[in-house]
Structure 1
Amino acid sequence: MKYGLLVISHGSRNENWVRLVDQAVDEVQLPNSIPKESSFLELVENRLIQDGIYRLEAKGITDIIVIPLFVSSGSTHLDEISYALRMTSKPTLETDMEPMDIKANIHLGVPVDDDPIIANILYERISDLSDNPQQEVICLVGHGSKEKGFYAKWRSGLDSLARRVQLIGNFAGSESAMLLPNQVASKMKVLNKKYPEHKIIIVPLFLSEGYFTNEVIPSRLKDFNYLYNGKPILPDKKISQWIEQQVSLMTTE
């Protein structure tokens, strides 16, 4: 048995987005010189999932640990990836992806969801906005999904992660909202009614700064008072630790 690591994320035409993911994977410290590859679902030429598989198998890898660098189990892309990696016999939703050419055994990890390491990253991102936690509440905002089943996974992960951040920062309360479906305004109204004298801190749940953190979230909040700095998860060395943690669990089973 010879292990290799394949970290899969969505991909982007933005070179800085790709650089941040590559940096996180480069900083992963693995035992026994386990080789690693960073690959993408789409948009990054010669760096797609099949490319990563071929590169690892060319090094004699018999068992590939796959870590999906996505923020929620509710991502429909994870359903596609699981099918493409032959972990499921058919996708839940229609997809253009086909089962991949794989000789190695695949060991599939989990996305961010409500991991405590990620909760600590999110708290650090908003800590400069907070000066009196007991007079502040947080609202965690993620992309979300309208699809049956996937919505529930998004909801569960967001609520649990928001609660973790609340407890770390000793905030008075927490809420979570999806951009899809558009819940931001309704959740802000809930917080304003429940905590009329409190400040609301918006916590974005996105890997990298971009369209959603810079434009979409502020546009959905234009009618409300809130604190927001738009800081995403990356860059942060703790993402590498999160990957290392999963690899350690799967190589010691």
Structure 2
Amino acid sequence: MQALVIVAHGSHLNPDSAQPTYDHADTIRKTGAFDEVREGFWKEEPHFREVIRTVESDEVFVVPLFISEGYFTEQVIPRELRLEGWDPDLWESDGTDATEVTLEVGDAEKTVHYCGPVGTHDAMTDVIVKRAETVTDDPDVGPGFGLAVVGHGTERNENSAKAIEHHTERIREMDRFDEMRALYMDEEPEVDDVTDYFESEDVVVVPLFVADGFHTQEDIPEDMGLTDDYRTGWDVPGIVDGQRIWYAGAVGTEPLMADVILERAVDAGADVGDALEQVESWTSERPAAGD
């Protein structure tokens, strides 16, 4: 038997924070690829430290629904799961290429395949592009458009920016959008000045966040000038400094994220049959959460 455990941050304050995790888990559960699919959270129940003990399978694939490698993926999750012998160096990662480490959970008699975060997987690049297609309602969006990938950014975790830059560069290499830029909330170049960095009349802004919350639904729209008060909402597209800003909301709400979670498990050795094809088919026409 094999189980999939999706671990995410969750929130005591934002009841919608966990919704993408449950949505993607439900999608994967429907494929029948795993005998069990469970969700675990840091700030909600079921908690990281207990979730492994809720599965009967001896082989467990743990996929962190986080954007970057760092404090949570390297310290908190392995500690709370009680992964024996864990060391971040086992990933042999430079900050964007963590894959999988197989470890034991002695007190639960489980073999755990601990995967890198979804946010650094190459398949996330396709989800960002899909998010741009969703918000513009145009499967061919690109020519005539700029695309801004927005991250939190923080001096406390240099890997936070690495994930943003990684996907920005991959999309730039597609030569699909007229302009590409990585922007941040807490470091330069800042998303507040989005119109300073693009000449395109139309700019799609995609936040590389797992869930819609305080940052994506309050800070970023106000900082960009889409609205003076997030409580009154904003237009999509909105006009800022004469440019049309297509604000997409958190990338983690895009249904295709379920594909990235599966890709992580497959890379770690999970046998999922045709589940990837099923998810791609189901999510191709499904609206993102909140749309």
Same fold (TM over 0.5): yes
Within 1, Cα distance between the matches of 2:173 and 2:87? Answer: 40
Within 1, Cα distance between the matches of 2:248 and 2:142? Answer: 19
CA deviation digits over 1:66-121, x for unaligned, max 9?
10011122x42212213433353599xxxxxxx99543222111112343432222
Within 2, Cα distance between the matches of 1:133 and 1:239? Answer: 21
TM-score by length of 2: 0.67
Pairwise CA distance, 1:4: 1.9
| 1:205 maps onto 2:208 in alignment | yes
Q: Which amino acid aligns with 2:51?
A: G
Q: Which amino acid aligns with 1:12?
A: S
Q: How many residues align?
A: 232
| 1:246 maps onto 2:244 in alignment | no
CA 1:132–1:161: 2 relative to 1, 3 Å: closer
Within 1, Cα distance between the matches of 2:248 and 2:214? Answer: 11
> What residue ranges of structure 1 are gaps of 5+ in the alignment?
92-98
Poorly superposed stretches of 4+, deviation over 6 Å: none
Per the alignment, residue 232 of structure 1 pairs with: 250
| 1:78 maps onto 2:84 in alignment | no
CA 1:6–1:142: 2 relative to 1, 3 Å: same
Within 2, Cα distance between the matches of 1:109 and 1:136? Answer: 34
CA 1:219–1:50: 2 relative to 1, 3 Å: same
Q: Which amino acid aligns with 1:71?
A: I
TM-score by length of 1: 0.76
Pairwise CA distance, 1:156: 2.3
CA deviation digits over 1:127-183, x for unaligned, max 9?
344797343322111122222xx31x2222211212334455711221112223364
- C-alpha contact (below 8 Å) 1:162/1:175 kept by paired residues: yes
CA 1:34–1:139: 2 relative to 1, 3 Å: same
Per the alignment, residue 22 of structure 1 pairs with: 22
Percent identity, aligned pairs only? 16
CA 1:220–1:237: 2 relative to 1, 3 Å: closer
SS at match of 1:237: coil
Q: Which amino acid aligns with 1:144?
A: G
SS at match of 2:150: strand
Q: Which amino acid aligns with 1:22?
A: Y
From 132, 140, 145, the equivalent of 1:136 is: 145
Q: Which stretch shows the higher mean deviation, 115-124 or 64-73?
A: 115-124
- C-alpha contact (below 8 Å) 1:84/1:100 kept by paired residues: no
Pairwise CA distance, 1:8: 0.2
Within 2, Cα distance between the matches of 1:116 and 1:49? Answer: 26
- C-alpha contact (below 8 Å) 1:50/1:100 kept by paired residues: no
Pairwise CA distance, 1:50: 1.8
Per the alignment, residue 220 of structure 2 pairs with: 217
Q: RMSD across aligned C-alpha pairs, in angstroms?
A: 3.3
- C-alpha contact (below 8 Å) 2:6/2:21 kept by paired residues: no
Within 2, Cα distance between the matches of 1:112 and 1:6? Answer: 13
CA deviation digits over 1:183-204, x for unaligned, max 9?
4158747624xxx455433211
CA 1:63–1:174: 2 relative to 1, 3 Å: same
